[in-house]
Amino acid sequence: MADEIELTPEPGILIESLRDIGYSFESALADIIDNSITANASEINIMALPVDDSFRVSILDNGEGLDRNALLRAMRLGSSNPRDERANDDLGRFGLGLKTASFSQCRRLTVVSRQHGETSAFTWDLDTVVRENSWSVLERTDYDEIFGYDTMPDTGTLVLWEKVDRLTGDNGSGRVDYDRVISEAQDHLSLVFHRFLAKEKGTKSLRISFNAHDLEPLDPFNMSNDATQASPEEVVCPGVTLRSFTLPHISTYSDRNEYERYGLRGGYLRNQGVYLYRAKRLIIFGTWFGLAKKTALTQLTRVKIDIGTNQDETWKIDVKKVSAQMPEIVRKRVRALIQTIGAPSRKVYSRRGARLTSPDVYPVWTRSENGEKTTYGINMDHPLVRTFGDELDGSLRKRFDSLMAFIGAMLPTEALFYDISNNADAVESQHMSNDDFAMNVRMFYAALTQFKDEEEALDSMRSIEPYRSRWDETLSALGIEES
C-alpha cells in the first residue's frame, strides 16, 4: 500500500496566482452580476468612482440575500460543484466567480448580505492572506464603516472592491482614463445582459444602474430595425437553437451614430460571427469558431446560438464565462449551414453593374511642398492604414505610428532617382502574391464600406492601383460578378 501524503496549497502563492486567471474589469463585473441575477435581483446598482486617489467599486442588488452560514460558504473558494445539476436560470457554475472575479481586480473584497432583517459581512484581504499564509476571512460587525452599507435595501447583497490595484497602484497601469474604463464597462454590460434589460420573455426583469445611469439594452442583432433580415429559429440538436441575422446596411440609417452603435466596439468586420448565449446571458461573441474567415462580404452576418446550463461541460464553458468550445455535433451542423448563413449578407453586397464616375483617390504616399523642399510620407489617413491603426490599443498604437513614421522617413530617394534616370522602364513596384492581394482587397473594401455604399466603394477601387490593373481578381476576391 502506498502512503498518502496531503499537499495543502500555499495560501499566499495560490491566491496571487488566482488573480491572473484572465478577467478584464468589465468581465469581472459581469460575473458579479450573474450572482445577483441568480439571487432573483430585479435591481442592481453599480458605483465605480475614484475616491481619494483610489478606486472603489460597489455592486448592490435587491436579491434574496444570504444568512450568515450561507454567506460564509459563498466566501469559500470553490463553494459549489460544477457538475451539480443547476436550475435553468442559474448563471453560476464553479462557485469561484465571486472570488476570482473580485481578486482579479482588487486586493480587498467585502461582501455584506441581509436576509430577514439579519445582516452578515465578511472580508477577504489578500495582504493578510499573504502575510499570515492562512485562508482566513475577517467577519465584520462595523457595518457603518463599510462603503455603501447605508444604501442597502431590506433584503439584498453588497459586493465591495477596495484596493483596486489592477487599474491603479503598483500592479496597475499607473494613471487611468476612468471615463474610458467606465464607458467601456457600461457598453459591455448593456450587451452581455441585453435580453434581461429588454425584459425578453423568459428572462428575469432587470434594471442595472451604473454610476446613477440606467443601462439600455444593446441588441447586437438590431431586431427593432425593419431592415434587419432574420431566419427562423432552428433546433440544431437537443438543447441548442440557432438563428441567423443580417444587419441593415449603412445606407438604411439616417443617423451614423446609430449605425456605429450596432457595429459594437471594433466595428462590423470584427464583430461578425456567432453570439453564444448561456441561459440568455451572452458568453462569447464575434467568432466563427474557426469555421469561416471574417470577410467584408459577411460583415453584417451574426448568428445567435442559445444553450442551457446543462450544456456547460459539452461546450467547455470556462470559469470566466467568456470562452467556449463548440462541440463537434454542432460544428458539423453549422459548417453545413455556413454558406446559407452568409448568403443574405453577400446578397446585400452584390453589384448590378459598373458606374464610371470620378471616385476619390486614396494615395498610400503623401506629397507636400515647403519652399524648395518636396516631402514624401506615408498617408496615415489611407483607409487601410487608419482602420488598422484604430484597432490597436495603447502602446501598440504608438509603436505602429512610430513604425509608419520610420518607414516614411526611409524613402530611398537617391536610389530611385538613379534607377529612374538610367532606365525608368525597368523600375517597378514589388508584386503582391494572389493571397496577399485578395486579403488586401477585402480589407480595403471593408474600410471603404464603413462610410460609402458598396457601389461607391467599388467605383473608387476600380480607378486606383493596384485594383485597377487587377480588376478581375478584385471582383473575384469579393465574390462579386460584374454585369
Domain boundaries, the chain: 11-214, 229-348, 365-478
Tell me which residue has cell 489578500.
126
Closest CA to 63 of 89, 31, 36: 36
Reported as a single tens digit per residue, the pLDDT across 301-348 is: 999 999 998 888 889 887 777 778 899 988 888 787 776 665 556 555
| pLDDT in the model for residue 75 | 93
| pLDDT in the model for residue 353 | 39
| pLDDT in the model for residue 437 | 87
d(CA 200, CA 145): 39
Closest CA to 181 of 66, 42, 29: 29
By CB neighbour count within 10 A (0-12 exposed, 13-18 middle, 19+ buried), where does 37 fall? buried
| pLDDT in the model for residue 274 | 94
pTM of the shown model: 0.71
**Is residue 448 classed as helix, strand or coil in its secondary structure?**
helix
Q: What is the widest separation between alpha-carbon atoms in the chain? A: 93
Evaluate whether 11-214 and 229-348 have a shared fold: no
- Mark the ranges of the chain whose per-residue pLDDT is less than 50: 81-84, 86, 90-94, 350-359
The Cα angle at residue 151 between residues 78 and 145, in degrees rounded to 5: 75
* DSSP secondary structure code for residue 251 in this structure: G
| pLDDT in the model for residue 354 | 38
Cα of 315 vs its chain's centroid, Å: 19
- The radius of gyration computed from the CA coordinates of the chain, to the nearest angstrom, equals 27
CATH architecture of residue range(s) 11-214? 2-Layer Sandwich (3.30)
The CATH T-level fold of domain 229-348 is: Ribosomal Protein S5; domain 2 (3.30.230)
